[in-house]
Structures are given as C-alpha cells and as structure tokens.
Amino acid sequence: MASRDYNKEFFNVTFPYQYVAVVEIDRQKKLNSYTQQMFTDIGTIFSRLSIDPEVRVIVLTAAGERAFTAGLDVTAAANGPLTGDGMADQKCEDTARKAWSLRRHIKEIQEPVSEIEKCEKPVICVMHGISYGAAIDISTCADIRICSKDARFSVREVAIGLAADVGTLTRLPKTNVGMSWIKDVCLTARDFGAQEALSVGFVSGVFENKKAALDRGLELAKDIANKSPVAVQGTKAVINYSRDHSVNDGLDYIAVWNAAMLQTKDVKDALMSGLQKRTPTFEKL
C-alpha cells in the first residue's frame, strides 16, 4: 500500500523503514491544532494502519518546531457545538434534544481518537514544543510516549470551562502516573515540562531536541519492527486487556490467546536465529 493512500489534508504518512510508518500532523500555521475533520482523519489513518500487513509499528509526530499540537482549534470550536452556535442548523431549543446531539457529537470525536489505542500495532508518540489538550488525549492512546526537552504540556480543558471528554480524564489514571499529580494538572490546567513529565512517568524518555526525540522514536520503532509481529501485537493486546481486568482474567485471556499464537513458527525462527546470531525475518501478519 503506497504512502499516498494514507495522506490527508493535515497528515503526512510516510514509510521510512520497512514495517515502520510515520504519521505526521502538519498544520503548522495553526500550531497543528485540531479541527473536527482532523479527528476523523487521524482515526481513519490508524484504523487502516491497524490492518496493513506492511506496517508493524507507527511513530506519531508533528511538523514544525513549535508544537506537537496546540489542541482543539478554539476559533473553529467557538462557532461549533461547544458553544451551542453550531447547533443552529437544528434550531434545537429543547435541552434534552441538545444533550442528545452533544452526546453523539462527543462520541464522534472519541471514536477516531480511540482508533489510535485500538490499532493492533504499537504506537510511539514523539512530542515536542506546545503539546496541549488534544496532545494529551492522543498521546494517552499511544503505547509509548517520549518527548524533547522543550515540550510544554497542559491538560487545557478546565481553562476553557469544560471537563475533558475526548479521553484524557479516563486514560490518564490508566497510565499509572500518580493520582495526586494527575488531579493537580487536570484541575489547574497548568503547564508542565518534559522533566516533570518524565519524573512522574507520563513520558518514558526525554531527549535534547525534536530531532533527537524523533531519532529515538524511529530507533525504537525499527527495533520493534524486527521482532515477530505475532509476539509484538499479542503483547500489546494482552497488556491493554490486563489494564482493564483483574489478574485472574488477564491470566486466562493470555492462555486462550497463546493457545493459537504459540503455534506460530516465529518462535522456532526466533530461537534458531538467536542461536545462530542472525536477525530473523518474519512473515507478514
């Protein structure tokens, strides 16, 4: 599948190495801020990467030096459903009907963002510069989060009068970051930097600048891409399942999972190439 199949107005999708896809947000004039269409587009991209046999790992980054993303495009949002004006076409006066419409609208944005989490392949999110609002929603869907020193994060939502509903409040507690710190940043909407993000465990690596962070992201990606895709994608699936279930349920799930997956010849190939000190190659999945 050629890279041109994936590109959207504000997203560039490239394949710099075998099995490695890079998704780049590119709306630099607006600090890579998100319109509703962009949420739809990123969902479409990840749901397709999820089943593309040429892809084994995905790096998510953003164009330009200033921002990973400034979050929701407030100008667009100010005319949209958030402030009720966007409902004008419905001329909906009844509170319950407006609530119904808003609930659907929220789910319409949640769903594409969740595609990043549901993507069968690991997603490495590399952040830099301004990383506000949607940056948190999106990166908490990724498997691995790293950033450059200049990254500035903020859970922006309370500053504009709302409780974050695209996933931040739900997924941050599942990152295993300390709850006292999570409440601090979510209730104050204050900025926090790369070093703070590292020390609490929100990111698992901080690098000198965007280039160094991206290099590390790509290195991780290549490393993962060289592993058996049956093993890698199974590992992601089982960790995500375990996060939301009891230990007993998790153990049972992996036993059922591996009942099929251990029958792969990748195990033999990996064991053999390990003994022979060579890099194994694995069939497409």
Nearest Cα neighbor of 47 from 23, 66, 83 is 23
Q: How far is CA 88 from the centre of its chain?
A: 33
State which residue, 88 or 251, has the beta carbon closest to a second copy: 251
- Contacts to a second copy from residues 64-123, by CB under 8 A: 74, 77-78, 81-84, 94-100, 102-104, 106-107, 110, 114, 117, 122
195 binds a second copy (CB under 8 A): no
State which residue, 152 or 156, has the beta carbon closest to a second copy: 156
- Contacts to a second copy from residues 7-46, by CB under 8 A: none
270 binds a second copy (CB under 8 A): yes
List, in sequence order, every beta strand (DSSP E) within 130-282. 130-132, 144-148, 152-154, 192-193, 206-207
State which residue, 22 or 72, has the beta carbon closest to a second copy: 72
128 binds a second copy (CB under 8 A): no
Give the neighbor-by-neighbor strand order of the sheet with 55-62: 11-17, 19-25, 55-62, 123-127, 144-148, 206-207
State which residue, 45 or 127, has the beta carbon closest to a second copy: 127
What is the rounded CA–CA span in Å between residue 123 and residue 144? 7
Break the chain down into helix, strand, coil percent, rounded to 5.
50, 15, 30
Applying CB under 8 A, the span of 3-11, 16-24, 60-68, 228-236 interacting with a second copy comes to 228-236
Helix (H) or strand (E) holding 247: helix 247-261
269 binds a second copy (CB under 8 A): yes
Applying CB under 8 A, the span of 4-12, 30-38, 62-70, 156-164 interacting with a second copy comes to 156-164
What single DSSP character describes residue 6? Answer: T
Burial of 196 (0-12, 13-18, 19+ CB in 10 A): middle
Applying CB under 8 A, the span of 7-15, 25-33, 37-45, 137-145 interacting with a second copy comes to 137-145
157 binds a second copy (CB under 8 A): yes
188 binds a second copy (CB under 8 A): yes
Taking the complex as a whole, the smallest distance from the CB of residue 224 to a second copy amounts, in Å, to: 5
What is the rounded CA–CA span in Å between residue 141 and residue 155? 15
